[in-house]
Amino acid sequence: MTDETRNWLKLADKFAADGDLMGMRAAAHELYDTADGRLEGVAVMAEAALYSGERDEAATLSGEVLKSNPKHLRAALVKAGVAAAEFRLDEELPALHALTEQAEKELSGFDPESGNALILRNILRKAYGWLTDGEYLAANPETAAETVHKASELADDPLARAVLYSKELFLRNYRMQGPGESLALAKRFETLMGVTPYPHAEAAKLPEKKLSIGYISPDFREHVVASFLEPMIRFFDSSHFSVHLYGLGRRDAVTKRIQTAPIAYRDLSGRSPRTAARIISEDHIDILFDLSGHTQGTALPILAYRPAPVQISGIGYMATTGLSTVDYFLADNVTMPEGDSAEQAFVEKALRLPHSHLCYAPGLVREMPLAALEAPVLRNGYVTFGCFNNFAKVTDETILLWRGILDQVPGARLLLKNKLASIPSGEKIIRERLAHLGIESGRVDLRPYSPDYLESYREVDIALDTMPYNGGITTCEALYMGVPVISLRGRSHGARFGASILRNAGVEELLVENDINYVRRAVQIARSPELIGAYHSGLRANVRQSALMNKKQYMQELEAAYRKIWRDFCNT
């Protein structure tokens, strides 16, 4: 490859990183005219077509290149990208695994500082990124975590490396981790960020002042987080607190409803973490509450600068941030009891609320459908178990427990509704995993995700929670739709979301402490159609009166916690 060709390829990759598709196409034309760059030019044109949504053109052009050179990496990347865009997991995943193996081998033969190595690293990083998302969708979070770790190691920019590593931390929550392992992994995030926090030496330490509370998230939109936001923006004590929201993500109709609350709203999307931190600091926020943790669009690179003197994380994420600049993690006496080993997995101090650490308030997101007052078993003559959780949360151990339940309830069925079931290759993945672990395909109904998914709870008698990554919003929604949920109390904060929700919803009898009782409790309830019917007819009314949905009580407890930690700050 000539220097001219290498230079145009590097420029094409820069245009791609900047989202400049016209620039990519221009570079492709220049490549086409170089002495040895014709195939490279066609491959770059194919890549630009993929990014612009012109999948047919991308497939045709990449196919032309692969016909001439079956091992052409960029063309293979585009071909896999087309499969990814069309959710053809059965084609995408083998192609990306083969591509990354080939690229790793080729990269090992080059000087790491050479132009060829730079071009290969760009291709490999993109392939790792797509492979991460594909494996996650295919319910292989462990493989996805390993893959995004490789992508992080290849990133040249420190912030990009930290954000990719943040994604790895998120993915590792889907499977069991010890407290020490979880903490050690999370602490590396701060090392990767490597920024200098604001000292706040001039902060006015007035214990009883009116406090400015800031909430920051990429998810002030139609998202899980919005279902827990309303108390914070409509039920706060305006005589003692002012509320600011900092949005980092896209906006929609839910965002507009949020902005009608008596709050200040700033859109910080597109700002660098440094700039966003400066803006928040200039707003003189006293306590900044991160609602996203290590989830997509994370706000943690901003919190690393410590734009507020006191910082909290919680609700939208279930584990430590790893940042010494985050002082507290919001929990309760169920998810993190005093002196419990779960606290050892956190850099932050536990900020415990007396009741629930979250308050379910779905009104901002959607109008909730009516719950079916009649349990499905009463009209069907058989029990339907269900789980609407992300299938990546479903471990082999969970499937074996489900099999144990179905084995003891003759005629019972299992209804699974999730995004993976929305695509043919995904349905195949689910059925093969279930069959491998002994659940007959004929007893399982797979339903694709749909905007009206809550209506499907009318077909479910008993919901089954996942472990160790419990459902949060799914458990709240199931209960609100009148469906009892069986949940197993785990050893970590994230594995006790279900326990906290059930206790605060007033249905602690649905909570179990071990695998045997998980199966036993589900079977006991399944054998009592009258009991199932009682849950379906009365559960919504009871949940609405419970601590889980008591907005005023929740805010009184949360604001008391705010005042306490502010006083503690003033006394330091």
Average pLDDT of the residues in 523-527: 98
In the chain, the amino acid numbered 24 is M
The answer to whether 412 and 406 have CB atoms below 8 angstroms apart is: yes
**What is the pLDDT at residue 111?**
85
Percent of the chain scoring above 90 in pLDDT = 92
Q: What is the mean pLDDT of the chain?
A: 96
Q: What is the pLDDT of residues 70-87, one digit of tens each?
A: 999 999 999 999 999 999
**What is the pLDDT at residue 341?**
87
Closest by CA position to 306, among listed 187, 206, 195: 195
Average pLDDT of the residues in 169-193: 95
Residue 350, phi-psi category: left (phi > 0), alpha (psi -120 to 50), beta (remainder):
beta
Q: Are residues 545 and 556 in the same domain?
A: no
Q: How many CA atoms within 13 Å lie on the side-chain side of 97?
A: 11
Of the residues 143, 162, 192, which one is the last residue of a structural domain? 192
**What is the pLDDT at residue 156?**
84
The answer to whether 244 and 263 have CB atoms below 8 angstroms apart is: yes
Q: What is the pLDDT of residues 105-118, one digit of tens each?
A: 999 888 888 888 99
Q: What is the pLDDT of residues 184-213, one digit of tens each?
A: 999 999 999 999 999 998 888 999 999 999
Average pLDDT of the residues in 292-296: 97
Pair type for strands 264-267 and 211-217:
unpaired
Q: Are residues 383 and 342 in the same domain?
A: no
Which tokens sit at 160?
């990009």
Q: What is the pLDDT of residues 146-163, one digit of tens each?
A: 999 999 999 989 999 999
Q: Are residues 478 and 524 in the same domain?
A: yes
**CA 426 to CA 419: how far, in whole Å?**
8
In a domain? residue 199: no
Of the residues 158, 192, 226, which one is the last residue of a structural domain? 192
In a domain? residue 405: yes
Domain range spanning residue 183?
A: 3-192
Q: What is the pLDDT of residues 207-234, one digit of tens each?
A: 999 999 999 999 999 999 999 999 999 9
Q: What is the pLDDT of residues 380-405, one digit of tens each?
A: 999 999 999 999 999 999 999 999 99
CATH of the domain at 346: 3.40.50.11380
**CA 298 to CA 167: how far, in whole Å?**
9
Average pLDDT of the residues in 472-487: 98
Which tokens sit at 126?
């993109």
- In this prediction, residue 366 has a pLDDT band, given cuts at 50, 70 and 90, of confident
Of the residues 192, 219, 242, which one is the last residue of a structural domain? 192
DSSP state of 261: S
**Number of domains the chain is built from:** 3
Average pLDDT of the residues in 550-556: 98
Q: How far is CA 438 from the centre of its chain?
A: 29
Q: Are residues 121 and 11 in the same domain?
A: yes
**What is the pLDDT at residue 24?**
95
In a domain? residue 364: no
Average pLDDT of the residues in 516-531: 98
Residue 159 sits at φ, ψ, to 5 deg, of: -65, -45
Q: Are residues 167 and 234 in the same domain?
A: no
In a domain? residue 66: yes
Q: Are residues 35 and 84 in the same domain?
A: yes
- In this prediction, residue 35 has a pLDDT band, given cuts at 50, 70 and 90, of confident
Neighbours of 569 (CB within 10 A): 17
Query: Is a pLDDT exceeding 80 seen at residue 250?
Result: yes
In a domain? residue 434: yes
CATH of the domain at 412: 3.40.50.2000
For the stretch 360-397, what's the b/e string if a residue is b when 16 or more beta carbons lie within 10 angstroms of its beta carbon?
bbbebbeeeeebbeebbbeeeeebbbbbbbbbbbbbee
The answer to whether 31 and 37 have CB atoms below 8 angstroms apart is: yes
C-alpha distances (whole Å) from 444 to each of 94, 413, 460 are 27, 6, 12
Average pLDDT of the residues in 2-28: 92
In a domain? residue 365: no
Q: Are residues 462 and 557 in the same domain?
A: no
**What is the pLDDT at residue 115?**
82
**What is the pLDDT at residue 2?**
86
Q: Are residues 247 and 301 in the same domain?
A: yes
**What is the pLDDT at residue 33?**
86
In a domain? residue 312: yes
In a domain? residue 205: no
Q: Are residues 412 and 386 in the same domain?
A: yes
**What is the pLDDT at residue 141?**
98
In the chain, the amino acid numbered 31 is L
Q: Are residues 19 and 109 in the same domain?
A: yes
DSSP state of 259: T
Which tokens sit at 397?
């151990």
Closest by CA position to 233, among listed 223, 243, 218: 243
Q: Are residues 284 and 393 in the same domain?
A: no
Q: What is the pLDDT of residues 439-460, one digit of tens each?
A: 999 999 999 999 999 999 999 9
**What is the pLDDT at residue 217?**
98
Q: Are residues 149 and 31 in the same domain?
A: yes
